[in-house]
Amino acid sequence: MKETLIDIQDLCIQFQTSAGTVRAVDHVSFDIKKGEVFALVGESGCGKSTTAMGIMQLIKQPGRIAGGEIHFDGKDLLKLSADEMTEVRGKKIGIIFQNPLDSLNPVYTVGYQMTEGLLVDKMEKKEAYRLACDMLRDVKISDVEERMKAYPHEISGGMRQRVMIGMMLCRNPQLLIADEPTTALDVTIQAGIIELMNELRRKYNSSILIITHDFGIVADIADRVGVMYAGNLIEVGEVFEIFDHPTHPYTRLLMKALPTITKEEGRLETIRGSVPNLAEEKPGCNFAERCPYAKEICFRQKPQLKEISEGHLCACLLLEGGSEDE
Amino acid sequence: MNDIMRFIAKRLCIGVLVVLFVTVLVFAIMQAMPGNPIDLMVDTRVSAEKVAEIKAQWGLDEPPVVQYFYWIKNVLRGDLGTSISLKQSVSDLILQRLPYTLMLTGAALLIEYIIAIPLGLLAAVKKNSAADKSLTVVTIVLWSMPPFWLGVLFILTFSVWLKILPISGWDGIVSLILPAFTLALPSLAQIFRLTRSEVLDVLDEKYVTTAYAKGLKNKVVLVRHVLRNAMIPVTVMFFLSLPWLIGGAVVVENVFAWPGMGQLIWKAISKQDFVIVQGVVLVITILTVICNLIGDILAGILDPRIRLE
Amino acid sequence: MVKKDKFKRMLKNPMVVIGAIMFLLVILVVIFAPVIAPHSYTEQNADVALTAPCREYPWGTDQYGRCIFSRVIYGSRIALSVGIIAVVIETLIGVTLGVISGYYGKKIDKVVQFITDATWAIPPIILAMAIVLMLGSSATNVAIAVAVVSWAQFTKIIRTKVMAIKALPYIEAAKIYGESDLSIIVRYILPNLVSTIIVLATLAMPSAILSTTSMGFLGLGAQQPLPDWGWILQNGIQFIKKAAWISMAPGLAIVWTVLSFNLVGEGVKELLDPRTRV
């Protein structure tokens, strides 16, 4: 059994909007072990990116963390002071974002931005420069010296993403959060980035929380996967367990809707209906309206995550009655 | 390096064209004015021949196009001509008064920016708070104040009632205070809003989140990443607004009897002394072109993305 | 056209409401000046020269014994009409040039842009002064002069919009059908510009009033005995110690009027396409 690196419990993140309080992340709990890759999947707007930002405490107004605990490194991150959290960021937990062009400041060179983080650790400029160059080589960037002097808009999208990865990994954080790291890149580059992340994980033994809606990537790189829907975590488990035995109705429909996973020939299925309005508080399961198996109780009671086999949890009321699904 | 040189050369060429265009325009307007400076100055008892003689002396009998070219020829030699009404070299007149106007506009610019930038930053960081809203309202009210009224109000308060500042004219650096503030306050609003909106835009940028995510302290992020980027258009604005303020200075100089170029050109226009008017407009237009050029170069230095163009 | 909910939101903005009320008061003063003003604006009475504000003369009198309150009230007609005329003229010039520049593009565009930038290079007040002196001092000429130095603010924005509209497929279609340029401009382009023009015109009012009253201050506007606000203020400077009210009153009137437009402008700005930088 590997050691737990970070344990998120009951995380709640809300946004105050003119339409009401949106429960973007509603009592989400999961943990990530040391050296493992955990994938958080779901549709756009299900709260996975928000969860990631919540861990880093980078939630901007009008959002706020409304409850929960995040145990990391012997402390509860949500109880840390601003200064203490600043020390965690970059050093212990790093994050890379989706669109690499916007994520780098256009007025500073790559070299400057790479060393900026390192210099927080109080080292000589020369030392920081050397480490940054090493890191760029690790992320397979050629002509390192040239790139260090370049500005973000002068290098390609794929390279910018590598720079981001390098920038966030150079202080060797124990956990790297990757928020849709390949979505903005074209397919050929995607593979390279994933390959890179795998290598780095092996080399530095970091854990990775990868946020994606692409199950292909999940299959490629993840050890465990968590499925989110409308702010709730509805299923968690080892990747192959979930792929082989998807339990939650949503997960099963997701699998069927994917071109990469379908074994049978035939039409792609869609999930009818649309994501619920998170500003309205409803009793019962968020997925009930769209669920083909929904029973009356599903509209009244909220399901909790329950372990159905070793390491495999699922939040569905139908499991308790032991009915149609497994 | 070559790119920058070509860029500057091209802008200078356009600048020269602009200067020429403006001088032709002003020349034409001055010529189009009814009457002429000689008639305005001269006693009605003076004979028509004498008047004609004086006109010939000043070259006023030549057709306008010829007059224009004479003027250009002289300008290129550094001679801006001699004022008809004041009988002094225009260059001398301008040199005498330009420093005062520059002092006034320079001081006003400094005041504007020193006040408006921190307030704009504050308003952006605390968006929609009471502070933000009240600052916005205050600046709108300031913006609605005509400088000539504000100036009189200041004189009333500080010179007449409180008696702590001089009423008018140049009386040492202290007399710069009221006119400079009069010029600065109504224009504060623009800088405040620009700063606020630029900072807000930058705060939304992903690279600011990246900076925080790297573990940089809040103050560091605000200065090094937010301000550094938000200040680009604000800094450029600084240079671009200098010529504008000179225009505003005309009215303020009038209120405070400030010995600057505004007064000079005002009197010259009313006396139709086109020599002075052309000279002053030439100087101001050149100044504007230079300021625009500096503004563009500055933008390229501060923002690497612009250099590509 | 402007979306309904944007419009409704604008009406809820407190600044817009206050500005609108202030503006309404100005309009009422303009219309009912003869009723509101206790005296005529020319009536002189040497006995009451330079009296402080009192019941008979709410805002005091000037050196000729004229009622400042009445003069300022009547002066609102001059101030507002001059401002409006200026904005109308600059809108006409600016929009026309913007449309021509944006529609025809290439060389014409370059020429218009050059002229626009060049006129921007000379401080507007100076050019305006010269124009008024060329035409002669009067309220109308001030309006013309101010308009001539201010149209550039319209041209740039209209030009960009026209270029965007021009790129739309149905314009191409119209051209292929053989519609004349003028017809295309009038039938398709102008209607799309109407809301932008109205917004820009509203936003141009404050500076128009400030500029025109500045010209009046310099003596270039409506001549005596007409009660030009700027000129009344100029006249009062010499009496600043003894009779400050002469200068203060018209100034406050100007601030009130300009402020009302600025407040309404804050809300009206929201109606513009958010990408336009004013």
By CA distance, what is C116's nearest residue in B? Answer: B18
Phi and psi at B21, nearest 5°, equal -55, -50
DSSP chain B: -HHHHHHHHHHHHHHHHHHHHHHHHHHHHHHHSSS-HHHHHS-TTS-HHHHHHHHHHTTTTS-HHHHHHHHHHHHHTT---B-TTT-SBHHHHHHHHHHHHHHHHHHHHHHHHHHHHHHHHHHHHTTTSHHHHHHHHHHHHHHTS-HHHHHHHHIIIIIIIS--S--SS--SGGGGHHHHHHHHHHHHHHHHHHHHHHHHHHHTSHHHHHHHHTT--HHHIIIIIIIHHHHHHHHHHHHHHHHHHHHHHHHHHHHHT--SHHHHHHHHHHTT-HHHHHHHHHHHHHHHHHHHHHHHHHHHHH-GGGGG-
| Contact flag A106-B305 (C-beta cutoff 8 Å) | yes
Q: Which of A318, A99, C135, A315 is nearest to B32 (CA)?
A: C135
B101 touches chain C (CB under 8 A): no
Q: How far apart are CA A66 and CA B116, in angstroms?
A: 36
Which pLDDT score, from 0 to 100, does residue C147 have?
92
User: What residues form DSSP beta bridges with A11?
Assistant: A28
Is the pLDDT at B287 greater than 80? The verdict is: yes
Q: Cβ(B178)–Cβ(B155) under 8 Å?
A: yes
**Closest to A247 in 3D by CA, of A195, A301, A291:** A291
CA dist B1 → B4, B8, B293, C81, C126 (Å):
5, 11, 17, 54, 38
Neighbors of chain A by Cβ distance (3+ pairs < 8 Å): B
Give me the residue from C15, C234, C240 closest to B156, CB to CB.
C240
Cα angle A263, A303, A207; round to 5: 65
Q: Which has the closest alpha carbon to C250: B149, B156, B254?
A: B149
Cβ atoms A63, A13 nearer than 8 A: yes
**B5-32 tens-digit pLDDT:** 777 788 788 888 888 888 788 778 777 7
Task: Say which range, B145-159, B246-260, C39-53, has the weakest mean pLDDT.
Answer: C39-53
Please say if the pLDDT value at position B64 is more than 70. yes
According to DSSP, the residues that pair with A278 across neighbouring strands are none
The values of phi and psi at residue B184, to 5°, are: -75, -45
Q: Which residue has the tokens 């002003």?
A: B26
Q: Binning pLDDT at 50, 70 and 90, where does residue C22 land?
A: very high
pLDDT above 50 (res A262): no
State mean pLDDT over A118-137.
88
Residue C255, pLDDT score: 95
Q: Are A76 and A70 in contact (CB under 8 A)?
A: yes
What pLDDT does residue A308 have? 83
When pLDDT is cut at 50, 70 and 90, the band that residue C34 belongs to is confident
- Asked whether the beta carbons of residue C234 and residue B29 sit closer than 8 angstroms, the reply is no
Q: Which amino acid is residue A274, in one-letter code?
A: S
What is the Cα B209 distance to its own chain's centre?
38
Q: Chain B contact for A171, CB < 8 A?
A: yes
pLDDT over 90 (residue C117): no
Smallest Cα distance from C173 to chain B, Å = 34
| Confidence label for A323 from pLDDT (cuts 50, 70 and 90) | very low
CA distance B47 to chain C (A): 26
Which residue carries 């101010």 as its tokens?
C146
CA quadruple B229, B105, C142, B284: dihedral, nearest 10: -90
Interface test with C, best of B29, B31, B149 (most C CBs within 10 A): B149
pLDDT computed for residue B192 by the predictor: 92
Q: How many CB atoms lie within 10 A of CB C131?
A: 22
Q: Please give the pLDDT value at position C275.
A: 58
pLDDT for the residue numbered B141: 93
The pLDDT of A188-199, averaged and rounded, is 77
For the residues of A85-138, what is the DSSP string, one character each? Answer: HHHHBTTTEEEE-S-HHHHS-TTS-HHHHHHHHHHTT---HHHHHHHHHHHHHH
Q: What is the pLDDT of residues C151-205, one digit of tens each?
A: 888 888 888 888 888 888 888 888 888 888 888 888 888 888 888 888 889 889 9
Per-residue pLDDT band for B42 (boundaries 50, 70, 90) equals low
- Which residues 261-300 of B have a C-beta within 8 angstroms of C? 265-266, 269-270, 272, 277, 280-281, 284-285, 288-289, 292
Task: Check CB contact under 8 Å for B140 and C262.
Answer: yes
Sequence-separated (6 or more) residues with CB below 8 Å from residue A18: none
Cα B84 from Cα B264, distance rounded (Å): 13
Rounded to 5°, angle at Cα C161 from C158 and C167: 140
d(CA C133, CA B94): 22
pLDDT tens string A40-82 = 998 877 888 899 999 998 888 788 888 899 999 888 888 888 8
Chain B interface disruption, residue of A85, A86, A98, A101, most B CBs within 10 A: A86
Give yes or no for C276 touching B (CB within 8 A). Answer: no
| pLDDT number for residue C274 | 63
**Partners of residue A89 on adjacent β-strands:** A93
User: Which pLDDT score is estimated for A289?
Assistant: 79
Q: How far is CA B45 from the centre of its chain?
A: 43
B40 pLDDT band, cuts 50/70/90, is low
User: Can chain C be said to touch chain A, i.e. do they have 3 or more Cβ pairs within 8 angstroms?
Assistant: no
**Residue position matching structure tokens 């930053």:** B121
Q: How far apart are CA B79 and CA B307, in angstroms?
A: 38
A10 phi, psi to nearest 5 deg: 55, 35
Please state the pTM of the whole predicted model.
0.79
Beta strand spans in chain A (E):
4-17, 20-33, 37-41, 63-72, 75-76, 93-96, 175-179, 207-212, 224-229, 232-238, 306-309, 312-314
pLDDT of residue C191: 87
Number of H helices, E strands in chain B: 13, 0
User: Tell me, what's the pLDDT at A317?
Assistant: 81
Average pLDDT over residues A277-289: 77
Mean pLDDT in chain C?
A: 85
What are the backbone dihedrals phi and psi of residue A265, each rounded to the nearest 5 degrees, phi first? Answer: -80, 175
Tokens of C18: 């206050």
pLDDT digits (tens, 9 = 90+) for C215-240: 899 888 888 788 899 999 988 888 88
Place of tokens 């503006």: C23
Q: Evaluate whether A136 touches A148 at the Cβ level (below 8 Å).
A: yes
B207 — contact with chain A (CB < 8 Å)? yes
pLDDT at C25 over 90: yes
Pairing of strands A232-238, A224-229: antiparallel
Percent share of chain A, pLDDT over 90: 14
How far apart are alpha carbons B148 and B185 in whole angstroms?
A: 12
Residue A64 tokens read as 């706020």
List, for residues A106-117, the tens digit of each pLDDT value: 899 999 999 998
Contact C137, C223 (CB under 8 A): yes
B247 near C CB under 8 A: yes
Confidence category of residue C254, pLDDT binned at 50, 70, 90: very high
pLDDT value of position A324 = 45
pLDDT band for position A322 (cuts 50, 70, 90): very low
Nearest to C187 by CA among C204, C171, C168: C171
- Cβ–Cβ under 8 Å, residues C37 and C67: yes
Using an 8 Å CB-CB cutoff, list chain B residues near C263: 140
ipTM of predicted assembly, 2 dp: 0.85
Q: What is the pLDDT of residue A263?
A: 53
- The yes-or-no verdict on residue B214 having pLDDT over 50 is yes
| Strand A4-17 to A20-33 pairing | antiparallel
Residue A35 has pLDDT above 50, yes or no: yes
- Taking alpha carbons only, the member of B155, A147, B117, B134 closest to residue C244 is B155
Ranking A84-98, A214-228, B94-108, B266-280 by mean pLDDT, the lowest is: B266-280
Average pLDDT over residues B90-102: 86
Mean pLDDT calculated for residue range C143-148? 91
Sheet holding A63-72, edge to edge: A20-33, A4-17, A63-72, A75-76
Q: Binning pLDDT at 50, 70 and 90, where does residue A260 land?
A: low
Considering only CB atoms, C123 lies closest to which of B140, B269, B284, namely B284
The Cα B133–Cα A202 span in angstroms is: 53
Question: Residue B138: its pLDDT value, please?
Answer: 92
- Residue C143's pLDDT band (cuts 50, 70, 90): very high
* pLDDT per residue as tens digits for the range C42-93: 888 888 788 888 888 888 888 888 888 888 999 999 999 999 999 999 999 9
Q: Is cis: bond before C225, omega within 30 of 0?
A: yes
The CA distance from A151 to A144, in Å, is: 13
Q: How far is the alpha carbon of B155 from chain C, nearest alpha carbon, in Å?
A: 8
Q: Give the rounded percent of residues in chain B with a pLDDT score beyond 90.
A: 14
Summary mean pLDDT of chain A: 83
Mutate to test the interface with A, among B201, B210, B217 (most CBs of A within 10 A): B210
The confidence score (pLDDT) of residue A325 equals: 47
Residue from A217, A240, A242, A216 nearest A227 by CA:
A242
- DSSP string covering A2-23: PPEEEEEEEEEEEEEETTEEEE
Which pLDDT belongs to residue A20? 80
